[in-house]
Amino acid sequence: MEYLKNGQIHTALTEGYSSEGYGVVRLDGAVVFVPRAVRGERIDLRITRVMKTHALGEIVKIHTPSPERAIPDCPYYGRCGGCDFRHLSYAEELRAKRQRVQDALSRIGGADVQVEEILGAKKPEHYRNKCQYPVGPRGEIGFFQARTHQVVPVDRCLLQPEVCDRTAHAVGSWMKRYKIPAYDEATGRGLVRHVYVRANRKGESLCCVVVNGRKVPREAELAALVLAAAPKTLGVVLNVNTKKGNVILGDQYRTLWGQDFLMDTLCGLEFKLSVPSFYQVNRDQAEVLYGKALEFAALTGEETALDLYCGAGTITLCLAGRAKRAIGAEIVPAAIRDAEENAARNGVNNAAFFCGDAADTAAMLEAQGLRPDVITVDPPRKGLSPEVIASAAAMGPERIVYVSCDPGTLGRDVKLFAERGYRALRAAAVDMFPGTRHVETIVLIQKKNS
């Protein structure tokens, strides 16, 4: 890397994509990541930063533009950090994501398994049913610029439903009209931190305003402005978060108007969702994802299935429809309450739920002698802890179905399962997040020699 200097211009071929969605170029063995470079393009690039293991560059000239290059259809692209692939055709985006998953399983996980397919979205725009808008210190509402906490004001987002954008702008209008101060994370002062909106299949929505305090002025006027902008709003909720840091939601809620939940349908089941309940943000692709997870689980109706990180019980209840017994575990109390209500609402009598940390719950169930036939896990981006992997393997299930939103931690965990007698047998990717570098993966991990 010593021969690379800031400002140098080189000509090279873009070979592929990094996990961040950058084009990958190699200069005499040195790796350079170049934003918006497309596979197969020969480019002139300028070195912008040199680090120990790689360098960053920027495009100066494209000699041979790829047929997969697209004109970005969003005016905020390049400033807002929400999207990574709006300069690619959707086919090329899917190819890049499938390759990212394959590389993680092979290189990080050491697994001899092929990613069978990537299941693309039929509707790659306006798919998010949960929208979280940060509020800047001057009251600007939008999304963070990439790798910063600088808010880029956004009027209309191609990933969010229109009702969510209208709701966020209504909160902004309330702030301006009544001089409600925004939160400034640098000083810890001010009130409004985030606007959080959930929307369901019917177009109904739930608005949550996250504030640095226990109340705000003009609460009735807030609800009225939200309702005027989004008439199908079912509730306006205040969330209290007085802690410094990046966590969006605090632990306390108060309903200002209406109700603190909404209903949605997924895989033929009806779910009650409160603000903190985990629920896949792309409903249509979630049905594709869960269908593939059930295929990998290969249930016959005689099994006991354990679902760790169950959220509002979506996967658990899908498993219950094909298993003899299903058990869900989740650390968020409100999500467990929703899961139990969802089971009752859908007439599911063979599902039970535990509230607790996944590692503690897995260890407790193992100590009680539970021997599930199938375990499903759908952890957050950080993946599974070694304790969860140890307890899950100790229960001796025939199959573990791992649903992951981060290929890197998935690869790491696949390798750890292999050390405990399990091997990755099948893998598929699902594009839950079109336009972004993120991708969902399902891996069937099976006990060796079974």
- Residue type at 291 in one-letter notation: G
- Which residues does residue 447 pair with via DSSP β-bridges, in sequence order? 422
Q: At what angle do helices 386-394 and 358-367 cross, to 10 degrees?
A: 20
How long, in residues, is the chain? 450
CA distance 182 to 188: 10
Phi-psi region of 143 (alpha: psi -120 to 50; beta: other; left: phi over 0): beta
Spot the catalytic one: 74, 310, 318, 405.
405
Compute how many other C-beta atoms are within 10 angstroms of the C-beta atom of residue 122.
9
- Residue type at 158 in one-letter notation: L
225, containing H or E segment: helix 219-229
333, containing H or E segment: helix 333-345
405 is catalytic: yes
Phi-psi region of 40 (alpha: psi -120 to 50; beta: other; left: phi over 0): left
Nearest one of 285, 295, 362 to 322, comparing CA atoms: 295
Report CA dihedral (104, 108, 109, 113) to the nearest 10 degrees.
40
Compute how many other C-beta atoms are within 10 angstroms of the C-beta atom of residue 172.
22
Report CA dihedral (338, 342, 233, 122) to the nearest 10 degrees.
110
Give the active site residues.
405
